[in-house]
Structure 1
């Protein structure tokens, strides 16, 4: 199956298939999706982390409308830090991603607006193939001590940074282990900023972008409350 953007992967994991409602932290998801678009651009060799800023290294479009719009914005704007970019990009991004998924028949837009005043939309899944593949990829990564591909490692890092472990729908007794494994994957890829990038399983330029975006999300969300 053709891969879909990382922002769409995060959204499909976060939304309940049946109710079509978002679960977990909405701000965490929005920040994670903003970072995910930038990660996809880094994976495609279009942006890099240079002297504290995210900068365009190759302005050619990658073929995804949302990512290409962000690429053009980064190229045209003055330099910003990863923290600044995730905040600037998160607004209305979820709406655009949902519209794209609806247009492709992956999710359905169920409008439950009442009296034309209270706007309520649900987005139950209609095509489960993508999410099934995403969850299988993550399950393989979580249950194996082996090295996963850089896209899956990036997704695991974003899930950890945004505290989206509940979206994995694991039994309580497995949640702690899942969090540890997500952090292990991030560290092994050099995405946590704690590993020597020479030992990273992915390209150092990509690892720098993901590591700094992960830290930006964690800083924005603050210290998690004790369980």
Structure 2
């Protein structure tokens, strides 16, 4: 994997650099990050989707604490559906990822008190270069008529599922066009079932995981019956 996990990329896109606050519903972000962690493990060849369930196929740690903890949990458990794993993993995941980003100097933890007794935390950007790389890759994918690499395609798919176009600074017709392009990327990559995995840019094992997780997140958010 790269130095930045997909779940971290989603979180950084979703948090305002200046205010340090989430710009989208937190339940959506939590579900998306849980799915992103599982996608990351699929990209690393550690889990696979078969017979309606996700299961570990290689328990070897990848060297990233959050991912390795999830991998160990999956390896020690019986197989569960993508929907089940997304719900199981979303609780507390955002706080763990934020803590890791703070420790690495990517965001700052600003503690404040509201109404005299309510303690809140904001996470403004400390090193914007990390998020800038994610935005650059997505921007190139939106502008280019070609399919991006499987990692960027997976990120684009998650952004589409979570309807995160506003976090890219797009509104109106630009947001509509971006969503159309994001869905084209997802379909062309083989993540939505519209294209044969033989013709996609992703490995079949990864494509199956992403497609199943995208559907699980959609269902959890009530976007599909």
Q: Give CA-to-partner distance per residue, 1:172-221, whole Å, 9 cap, x none.
A: 22000000000000001100122211111110110000000000000111
Partner residue of 2:19? 19
Q: Work out the CA distance in 2 between the residues paired with 1:114 and 1:170.
A: 31
**Corresponding residue SS for 2:34:** helix
CA contact (8 A) 1:23 1:167 kept: yes
Partner of 2:63: helix, strand, or coil?
coil
* 2:66 alignment partner in structure 1: 66
Contact conserved, 2:12 with 2:131, CA < 8 A, in 1? yes
- Structure 1 match to 2:121: 121
CA RMSD of the aligned region, Å? 1.3
- 2:196 is equivalent to residue 211 of structure 1: no
1:24 Cα shift? 1.3
Give the whole-Å Cα distance in 1 for the aligned partners of 2:29 and 2:106. Answer: 19
Counterpart CA distance in 2 for 1:43 and 1:202 is 9
Aligned partners of 2:167, 2:97: CA distance in 1, in Å?
Answer: 18
1:75 maps onto 2:75 in alignment: yes
How does the TM-score come out when normalised to structure 1?
0.95
Per the alignment, residue 196 of structure 2 pairs with 196
- Once the two structures are superposed, the pairs formed by residues 1-227 of structure 1 within 5 Å of their partners are 2-114=2-114, 117-223=117-223
Instruction: Report how many aligned residue pairs link the two structures.
Output: 223
Query: Matched residue of 2:79: which SS?
Result: coil
Secondary structure of the residue aligned to 1:11 is helix
> Contact 2:188 / 2:194 at 8 angstroms: preserved in 1?
no
Q: Check conservation: 1:28, 1:163, Cα contact below 8 A.
A: no
Question: Residue 117 of structure 1: CA displacement?
Answer: 3.8
